[in-house]
Chain A
Amino acid sequence: MKEIQRVSPVVFKSTPVKTKTRDNWEVVMEYSEEGDGPFLVDLSHRPRFDLQDSNLAAQKPFGIEIPETPGICVLEKGVLANRMNGTQVSLYNLDSDDTAVMPDESGYTDVTESTMCVALIGKNVFSICEKLTALDFMDPQRKAPFLFQGPFSHVPCQIVTLSKEGDISGLVLTCSRGYGRDMIHSILHAGEEFKLTPAGENRFTNWIKEL
Chain B
Amino acid sequence: MMNRFNHLPTLKVDTTQKIAFIYKGKKHYGVKGDTVATALYANGIRIFARSLKYHRPRGLYSLDGECSNTCMEVDGIPNVRCENTLLEDGMVIKEQNVKGSAENDYMSFLDKLDWLMPAGFYYNVMHKPAKIWPIAMKQIRKAAGLGKISPDYEMPGKFDEVFLNTDVCVIGGGPAGMMAALSSAQKGLRVILMESRPWLGGFFEYRSGQYKDRQALHERALFLANEVAAHENIRSFTSTSAVGTYNNNLVTGFQIGKKEDVFDQRYIEIRAKSVVAAAGCIERPLIFDNNERPGVMQIACALRLAKTYGLLPGKKAVFSIGHDLGLEAALELHDLGLAISCVADIREDGHDPELLKKIEDKKIPLLKGWVATKAHGSKLVNKISLASVDGLVSKSFDCDLVVASAGITPVTGHITVAQGTLKYDNHTGCFLPDQMPEKMHAAGRVLGLNDPLSVEASGTLAGLQAAFDCENCSIQEIGEARKALENLPGPVRGTKLVTAPVKGRKSFICFDEDATIKNIKQAIEKGFDVPELIKRFTATGLGPGQGGIPGHNLPLYVAKYQTLPDVSIRPTNVRPPLVPTLISTYAGVNHKMFKITPMDEMQRKDGGIFRNLGVWQRARYFSNDLTCKKEIENVRSNVGMLDGSTLGKFRIHGSDALKALQRVFVSDMSKVKQGRVKYSAMCNDDGCVIDDGVVVKQGENDYYFTTSSGRAGQTVEWIRYHTRYDGWTFALVNLTDSLGVINLSGPNARKVLEKVVDIDISNEAFGYSEYKEFKIQDTVQTRAMRLGFVGELSYELHVPSSYVKAVWLMLNEAGKEFNIKNFGVEAQNVLRMEKCHIILGQESEQRTNLLDLGLGFLWDRNKTEAKTVGAVALRQAENDQTRLKLVGFKTENNTRAPRDGALVVDEKVRGYICTARDSFSLNEAVGMALVEGELSKIGTRLEIYEDECGDDRIYGKVVKMPFYDPEGTRMKM
Contact = CB atoms under 8 A, between A and B. Distances in A.
A138 B165 contact: yes
A70 to B, nearest CB: 15
Interface in A133-162: 133-136, 138-140, 153-155
A6 B162 CA distance: 36
B91 interface: no
B774 to A, nearest CB: 15
A54 to B, nearest CB: 6
User: Which of B190, B736, B802, B803 is most buried by chain A, counting CB atoms within 10 A of its CB?
Assistant: B802
A189 B262 contact: no
Given A8-B802, A178-B597, A193 B616 contact: no
Contact of A176 (B595, B600, B806): B595
A193 B262 contact: yes
A77 interface: no
B738 A177 contact: yes
B332 interface: no
Interface string A181-203: 11101100110110000000000
B233 to A, nearest CB: 11
Interface in A100-122: 106-107, 109, 111, 113-115
Interface stretch (B573-581, B727-735, B949-957): B727-735
Interface in B776-823: 777, 779-780, 800-806
Contacts of A140: 190
A211 interface: no
B161 A7 contact: no
A18 to B, nearest CB: 21
Nearest to B809: A2
Interface string B728-754: 010111111111000000000000000
A1 interface: yes
A109 B271 contact: no
A6 B595 CA distance: 19
Given A176-B595, A176-B736, A139 B162 contact: no
A52 interface: yes
A114 B271 contact: no
Contacts of A139: 165
Contacts of B729: 54
B737 A107 contact: no
A64 B729 CA distance: 22
A71 to B, nearest CB: 16
A12 interface: no
A111 B736 CA distance: 10
A24 interface: yes
A134 B732 contact: no
A62 interface: no
A136 B271 contact: yes
Contacts of B806: 4-7
B162 A115 contact: no
A63 to B, nearest CB: 21
A130 interface: yes
User: Which of A52, A106, A114 is most buried by chain B, counting CB atoms within 10 A of its CB?
Assistant: A114
B593 A182 contact: yes
B653 interface: yes
Given A176-B595, A177-B801, A178-B596, A109 B737 contact: no
A197 B570 CA distance: 55
B365 to A, nearest CB: 57
B589 interface: yes
Contacts of A155: 593
Contacts of A114: 733-738
A109 B162 contact: no
A47 interface: no
Contacts of A113: 735, 737-739, 800-802
Interface string B555-599: 000000000000000000000000000000000010111111110
Nearest to A87: B731
A196 to B, nearest CB: 12
A50 B165 contact: no
B111 to A, nearest CB: 49
Contacts of B262: 192-193
How big is chain A's contact interface, by range?
35 or more
Nearest to B166: A136
Contacts of B734: 114
Nearest to A44: B802
Contacts of B597: 178
Given A6-B802, A134-B269, A153 B165 contact: no
A189 B591 contact: yes
B654 A134 contact: no
A134 B271 contact: yes
B651 to A, nearest CB: 6
Nearest to A176: B737
A7 B702 CA distance: 28
Interface string A51-64: 01110000000000
Contact of A25 (B735, B737, B802, B805): B802
Nearest to A127: B162
B63 to A, nearest CB: 32
B163 interface: yes
A113 B164 CA distance: 33
Interface string B181-215: 00000000010000000000000000000000000
A189 B736 CA distance: 27
Contacts of B190: 138, 140
A131 interface: yes
B589 A189 contact: yes
Nearest to A53: B731
Contacts of B739: 113
A9 interface: yes
Interface in A1-55: 1, 4-9, 24-25, 50, 52-54
Contact of A179 (B595, B598, B735): B595
B813 to A, nearest CB: 9
A139 B166 CA distance: 8
B160 interface: yes
Nearest to A106: B654
B779 A4 contact: yes
Contact of B161 (A50, A131, A138, A192): A131
Interface in B388-423: none
A109 B806 CA distance: 23
Given A111-B738, A155-B593, A185-B591, A131 B731 contact: no
B802 A154 contact: no
A7 B802 contact: yes
Contact of B803 (A6, A134, A181): A6
A131 to B, nearest CB: 5
Interface string B50-89: 0000000000000000000000000000000000000000
A4 B735 CA distance: 22
A28 B731 CA distance: 34
Given A136-B271, A178-B597, A192-B262, A130 B162 contact: yes
Contacts of A190: 589
User: Which of A5, A7, A25, A140 is most buried by chain B, counting CB atoms within 10 A of its CB?
Assistant: A7
Nearest to B779: A4
Contacts of A9: 598, 801
A24 B805 CA distance: 13
Nearest to A154: B593
A109 B733 contact: yes
B777 A1 contact: yes
Nearest to A55: B729
Given A130-B162, A133-B163, A177-B737, A183 B271 contact: no
A181 B589 CA distance: 16
Nearest to B799: A113
A50 B190 CA distance: 36
Contacts of A177: 598, 737-738, 801
16 contacts: A4-B777, A6-B803, A7-B802, A24-B802, A107-B654, A113-B801, A114-B736, A138-B165, A139-B165, A176-B595, A176-B737, A178-B615, A182-B592, A189-B591, A190-B589, A193-B262
Top 5 A-B pairs, shortest CB-CB distance: A178-B595, A52-B731, A136-B165, A6-B802, A134-B163
